[in-house]
Amino acid sequence: MAKPRIVLSESSRELVEMIKAGQLVELENWIKEGKSLRLSEADAGISALSVSVKAGFNRLVEVVLQNEKWDAAELSKALNCALSNKRTDLGELLLGAGAPVDQVRFDEACQTMDVKLVECLLEAGADPGKNNGFAQALNEHKAKPLLGIYRGLRAKFPALDRQAALALSETVRAWNLRWTSLLAWAGADPLFPVPYGMDEKWPDDIDYTTSAGSKHDRRSGSFQSHWSGCSSRHRLLRGCQGWHLESGYEPTFK
């Protein structure tokens, strides 16, 4: 069912049209005159902040942020909008203004391929494992910048290792030799216990600090189940490990 059309009041419509047109001087005059940036229809999900982020004018978003107190829900919605539009500059502005990251879709954040933004999100507490977002991004985009993000941030944010191991498991199952080799080169652990698929939950009884041990032997995740009775897949990954990790091979990304 289509959403009902929201009819804006005259003052709200004037403010929205001003923001959409990027009329910064007019907006600053509006504020100087003591007029509010709050829309009368804010409780219907519309705010001057969300409109400004969709419009995409950096300085205008900054003015809107600085001249009104926005609650966590409004900031979160604006942040997700900026990320889905791949506007890393606006994302950084919103994070600087205190936008919460608990509702951030990490896979969408990774679409920006921006190391600085992803690091800012992780620093703010974003969970790369929520809905296996980072693993999803790795295998959906198969992009060099994402490997760079993983290699550059994995020591600081160990949760990325779990996601890389899951991505590696899935790409082995898909018989993608190139991406398997690149993930292994980047440091993804082929022995790390993982779920049986992207949509599965991580088992709580596995010691994630080690790739060995009795718990790992009982529940090693997708890898051993995929390789059961199929030595060619096992050789594929072991070959990647031996060649890329021991010889110091540096891949060429094309």
Give me the pLDDT at residue 229, please: 46
For residues 164 and 188, the answer to whether their CB atoms sit within 8 Å is yes
pLDDT at 184 over 80: yes
pLDDT at 188 over 80: yes
Q: How far is CA 21 from CA 12, 17, 31, 94, 158, in A?
A: 14, 6, 17, 21, 44
Give me the pLDDT at residue 28, please: 94
Candidates 166, 168, 118, 127; CA nearest to 145 is 118
Tokens 């007019």, located at residue: 26
Q: How confident is the model at residue 65 (pLDDT cuts 50, 70, 90)?
A: very high
pTM: 0.72
Cβ neighbors of 57 (< 8 A, separation 6 or more) are 22, 24
Give me the pLDDT at residue 194, please: 83
Give me the pLDDT at residue 193, please: 81
pLDDT averaged over the chain? Answer: 79
Per-residue pLDDT reduced to its tens digit, 33-45? 998 888 876 546 6
Tokens 């498991």, located at residue: 169
Give me the pLDDT at residue 105, please: 87
Rounded Cα distance, 140 and 125, in Å: 23
| 29-33, 54-58, 172-176, 214-218, range with the lowest pLDDT | 214-218
Query: 13-100: which CATH architecture?
Result: Alpha Horseshoe (1.25)
| 83-87, 93-97, 164-168, 203-207, range with the lowest pLDDT | 203-207
pLDDT at 227 over 70: no
Rounded Cα distance, 108 and 30, in Å: 34
37-46, 81-90, 188-197, range with greatest mean pLDDT: 81-90
pLDDT at 147 over 50: yes
Could you tell me where the DSSP H helices lie in the chain?
A: 10-20, 24-32, 48-55, 58-66, 72-84, 88-96, 106-110, 115-123, 133-141, 144-153, 159-173, 177-186, 214-218, 222-227, 231-240, 246
| 96-110, 127-141, 204-218, range with the lowest pLDDT | 204-218
Position 217: which residue type?
D
Read off φ and ψ for residue 87, nearest 5 degrees. Answer: -100, 85
Cβ neighbors of 214 (< 8 A, separation 6 or more) are none
Domain coordinates in residue numbering, the chain: 13-100, 104-249
CB atoms within 10 A of CB 110: 25
Rounded Cα distance, 133 and 138, in Å: 9
Give me the pLDDT at residue 246, please: 43
pLDDT at 139 over 80: yes
